[in-house]
Amino acid sequence: DQQVKQNSPSLSVQEGRISILNCDYTNSMFDYFLWYKKYPAEGPTFLISISSIKDKNEDGRFTVFLNKSAKHLSLHIVPSQPGDSAVYFCAASARWGGATNKLIFGTGTLLAVQP
Amino acid sequence: DSGVTQTPKHLITATGQRVTLRCSPRSGDLSVYWYQQSLDQGLQFLIQYYNGEERAKGNILERFSAQQFPDLHSELNLSSLELGDSALYFCASSAATGELEAFFGQGTRLTVV
């Protein structure tokens, strides 16, 4: 059962345009969401996160939007740059107790930004 | 550099063998997670340790086991290896509380032949 879904395996955008990466989840217990970026032969790198008490979080060119009723989140990159080309993973977590808990990852979206 | 160190970077072994993957978390992080990434797959959660204790378990096979030592480094043991175990194995660590962002190592690429 895939609790976190990224239905677009790939996305191609022009440099300078907006990239929108989507993610859906099924578990209503998830209350924290993260985006990771991964280059080939490297580990995933944390990009941006959002708590379920918010609907938007912005960090420079990256903005994450959360729609709890639709169980949907999206990552917007504006403007897109060729260096943004990577695989983007959406991840979700549910906090239980006081310690950090496991992240459930989607299958990733390969973003290609064309110069 | 995430601060998480995994060794070895590459491992080639034969079916039926046993291997040990090692992870040193970021300084001060108490939680260690192991993930498996097979070809064209997402990151599958295997197991989490927190301050030496098993905290959460995912779809980890019985042939696989892990532990976290008093110095907080962790080892993932894979035994009776099969061709299908070939994958990238990532370790991640995070602080004890207040932070859910996990920091990943560069991974160990395991090839079973």
**Min Cα–Cα distance to chain B from A41, Å:** 7
What's residue B32's pLDDT? 92
Which residues of A fall within a CB distance of 8 Å from B104?
36, 43-45
* Element at B68 (helix H, strand E): strand B64-68
Contacts with A105 from chain B: Cβ below 8 Å? 35, 42-45
The pLDDT assigned to A93 comes to 86
- The pLDDT score that the predictor gives to residue B101 is 80
Q: How confident is the model at residue B41 (pLDDT cuts 50, 70, 90)?
A: confident
Nearest CA to B21 among B71, B83, B90? B90
Instruction: Considering only residues A59 and B38, tell me which one the structure prediction assigns the higher pLDDT.
Output: A59
Given a cut of 50, the residues of chain A with pLDDT beneath it are 97-100
Residue pairs spanning A and B at CB distance below 8 A: 72
CA atoms A32, A75, B33, B40: torsion sign: positive
The pLDDT assigned to A98 comes to: 47
> pLDDT tens, B52-84?
999 888 889 999 999 999 999 999 999 999 999
Q: Which residue has the tokens 């108490």?
A: B30
Neighbour tally for A56: CB within 10 Å: 10
Which residue of B46, B100, B104 is the best one to mutate when testing the A interface, meaning the one whose CB has the most A CBs within 10 A?
Answer: B100
Identify whether the C-beta of residue A43 lies closer than 8 Å to the C-beta of residue B106. yes
Look up residue B38 and give its two tokens: 């097979």
The more confidently predicted of residues B102 and B39 is B102
> Which has the closest alpha carbon to A113: A20, A8, A7?
A20
The three-point CA angle A73-A79-A84 to 5° equals: 75
- Give the nearest chain B residue to A98 (CA atoms): B97
The confidence band for B104, taking pLDDT boundaries of 50, 70 and 90, is very high
Interface of A with B (CB under 8 A): 6, 32, 34, 36, 41-46, 49, 89, 91, 93, 95, 98-108
Average pLDDT, chain B: 91
Q: Identify the band that residue B42 occupies on the pLDDT scale cut at 50, 70 and 90.
A: confident
